[in-house]
Structure 1
Amino acid sequence: MADEREINPWLKNALELGPPILFFIAYLRLEDTSITVGGTAYDGFIIATAVFVPILLASTAILWKLTGKISRIQIFTAILVVFFGALTVWFNNDAFFKMKTTIVYAFFAAMLGIGLMRGKSGLKYLMGDRLPMADEGWMIMTKRLALAFVAMAIANEVIWRTQSDRFWVTFETFVLPAFLFVVFMSQAPVIERFSLDEGDEDGPGA
């Protein structure tokens, strides 16, 4: 896109990773706090959620302003955060916000799976312009990422339904992103094997 601009990578990471980390910090600070509004008592988790939503929206807006671009994944995630965050506060029930994570990962798995059934790679659609690679490599990576997202969705459901709020907040903030990072990093051999030189339209050994 003509309007897309590069920004400092550290600033970009801060804008993308800052909101969930701030949610984690806010929850720890407000864990034992309760406020009453209109006769309804809201615990620390609900308060932290109410704080997190505008922070995420502000961060996304700043990132868009600075780069001139916002990904479909960021838009989808922001919509779900606003929707389930609003339900969490409105019904004073943290289950909505916890289910949001499951739905996000299940959606990603479903989208990649639908593409695979059609013989197409959703990852190539999202990342192909920045990572030249043969179609076979994209299909391998897409299958692995789809399975990873399924595992993450299942893990989130098990954790939020069986563990404490503090455990889930830590798991959702650090463990799931770390697992996804490891999955991506573990694809280095696939990327190396199937990478294409600039202008090369064929696979390895063509």
Structure 2
Amino acid sequence: MPPLAKLALELGPLAVFFAANARAGLFIATAAFMIATVVALAVSFAWVRRVPIMPLVSGAVVLVFGGLTLILHDELFIKLKPTIVNLLFASVLLGGLAFGRPLLARVFDEVIRLDDDGWRKLTLRWGLFFVALAILNEIVWRSFPTDTWVSFKVFGVMPLTLVFAMCQMPLMQRHALPDDKPDATPGA
């Protein structure tokens, strides 16, 4: 899938959530978010015939907690969703490390090639980052009005994640494995 399409499928539901919240409030925004999430997962599946695990898990939690928000008419559940998803990802990553299995290596081994120490460090960092995001979500939704929380969810979390990911580049470069492909020399 082209990177721009992948980004649109990941950010699209958040943009729908933000726009719907601004126009119609959190409950309509939650319903729109749920629909946009299902559409994004369906498009992703139609495009590549599989759905990556992180969007699938996040989508399932959106449907469960969004459904609870709408059925019980209580915004608490949709506000807890990012905390639950981030803690779930942190638990899987850190739990894998506890059992000597840096699970990021299984997910990204086709794209990124690192030595074992690099995978352990990268997995630990991402696990702790997800814990930090969960704590930050709790602070923001408990301390600020709903509209501020929605703006943070849309315009705060993604930039934080991108900055964090870029900050991991030196670690990844230090622990990168050499490319196994022979160099193609001109004229050979």
State TM-score, norm by structure 2: 0.92
Deviations 1:26-77 (A, max 9, x none): 11112xxxxxxxxxxxxx2111111110111011101110122211111111
Contact 2:16–2:29, Cα closer than 8 Å, also in 1: no
1:55, 1:144 → 2: CA distance? 30
**Equivalent residue for 1:137?**
118
The total of aligned residue pairs comes to 181
Moved over 3 A (4+): none
Amino acid at match of 1:161: R
* Aligned residue among 128, 138, 145 for 2:109: 128
- Which structure has greater helix proportion? 2
Task: For structure 1, list consecutive stretches of 5 or more residues without a partner in the other structure.
Answer: 1-6, 31-43, 201-206
Secondary structure at 1:129's aligned position in 2? coil
Gaps in structure 2 of 5+ consecutive residues: 182-188
- The one-letter code sitting in structure 2 at the alignment partner of 1:187 is Q
1:142-157 matches, cutoff 5 A: 142-157=123-138
Tell me the residue number matched to 2:53: 72
Distance 2:165 2:3 in 1: 18
* Correspondence for 1:8: 2
SS in 2 for 1:199: coil
Aligned pairs for 1:16-95 within 5 A: 16-30=10-24, 44-95=25-76
SS in 1 for 2:156: helix
Q: Secondary structure at the match of 2:101?
A: coil
How many angstroms apart in 1 are the aligned matches of 2:114 and 2:28? 45
**Is 2:118–2:171's contact at 8 Å kept on the other side of the alignment?**
yes
Q: Please report the RMSD computed on the Cα atoms of aligned residues, expressed in angstroms.
A: 1.3
Q: How far off its partner does 1:199 sit?
A: 3.5
Is the Cα–Cα contact under 8 Å of residues 44 and 51 in structure 2 kept in the other structure?
A: yes
CA–CA separation in structure 1 for the residues paired with 2:121 and 2:157: 21
Whether the 8 Å contact between 2:65 and 2:81 is mirrored in structure 1 is yes
TM-score when scaled to structure 1?
Answer: 0.84
Cα distance, 1:11 vs. partner? 2.1
Q: Deviations over 1:89-109 (max 9, x none)?
A: 000001000101100000111
Q: Which amino acid aligns with 1:69?
A: R
Q: What residue identity is the alignment partner of 2:50?
A: K
When structure 1 is superposed on structure 2, of 80-89 and 65-74 the one drifting more is 65-74
Task: Give me the whole-angstrom Cα distance separating, in 2, the residues matched to 1:182 and 1:195.
Answer: 20
- Give the distance between the partners of 2:178 and 2:50, measured in 1 at CA: 27
1:3 matched residue in structure 2? none
Q: Percent identity?
A: 34
- Please give the alpha-carbon distance, in whole angstroms, between the structure 1 residues aligned to 2:33 and 2:15: 10
Amino acid at match of 2:74: N
Deviation for aligned residue 1:25? 1.1
